[in-house]
Amino acid sequence: MDDVAVMSDSTITLVYRGPRKRAALWRPAVEAKCSQIRWQNWPDEVSNPADVQILVTWLPPEDYLSLFPNLKVIFSVGMGVDQFSPQQLPEHIQLVRMQDENVRASMIEYLTGAVMMLHRDSYSYAQLQQQTLWQPSRPKLAHQRTVGVIGLGFLGKAVAEHFATLGFKVNGWSRSPKTIDNVASYHGQNQLRDFMQSVDCLICLLPLTPATENMLNRDTLSWLPPGASIINVGRGQHLVDEDLLALLDNEHLSHAVLDVFREEPLKQEHPFWTHPKVHITPHVAALVVEESAAELMADNIQAWLQQTPVSGSIDKTRGY
């Protein structure tokens, strides 16, 4: 970014690709804070692609690296950046994800509901209701269950801390060591099996990288104790669908709550739709809150222009 002019009289061209309702809110927030920004909506307002230095989007245009030869930074409008293939981006292009506190709060709300439904056997009772069966079971207390969070980044750390405050035992796994109050931390491939074997309810909040793709497969899911459950709010590509279904069918796993899928929308013929132990939501666990995200985006673009630290900057070699 050393060659980026940040003088007040310079002009920096930004291209936004996404819903126009969002642009109507974000554009004035960015222009009010960053007077040198020339905002252009893709594709009809883009006058000269060679002028573009900033790209704000969830999904980039096709062949965007060739289309925008002077691109310097990409701001993802969400938490994920796997769609940009970070490890394949040129060294000079910075990649930034959205780290909005409201997104984190939304994720905690979603997971609290899902974990409590599993913890109090509500999904099982819903199945019994369909059969008009009255079969009460004695519930466990929170301290008798272990919630496991795999992926302890911006979202995962907060989720782990939250469930500890609710009285659950909480274990976490990450690539590198982490220290979190009231959370037993595991790290690295050598400790993955021990982590999985300790968990009653597994929450996946991993970033999607070549190392984490297909990480939740028959082998690793079989390490979970019999009767364990899984909640996937990371990416659909973390989970091998047929392996999960096999472990649900042989009753090694009790339930799966899935918010993300390999292909979205989920095809109508996919067996997840009709499986009695699979519970689906349409990628809604943590949605961007437009108002707060507008201010965060404006602050981040301003920081980038001023060559100061940017919130959510990605280490492209790791992919997160």
- Catalytic residue from among 97, 104, 235, 279: 235
- Catalytic residue from among 38, 187, 262, 283: 283
On whether the CB atoms of residues 99 and 309 are closer than 8 A, the answer is: no
The amino acid that residue 292 corresponds to is S
Beta pairing partners, 146: 169
Instruction: Please say if 235 is a catalytic residue.
Output: yes
On whether the CB atoms of residues 121 and 145 are closer than 8 A, the answer is: no
Q: How far apart are CA 82 and CA 320, in angstroms?
A: 8
Instruction: Please say if 22 is a catalytic residue.
Output: no
Give Cβ neighbours of residue 87 (< 8 Å, ≥ 6 apart).
Answer: 209, 210, 316, 317, 319
| Catalytic sites, residue numbers | 235, 283
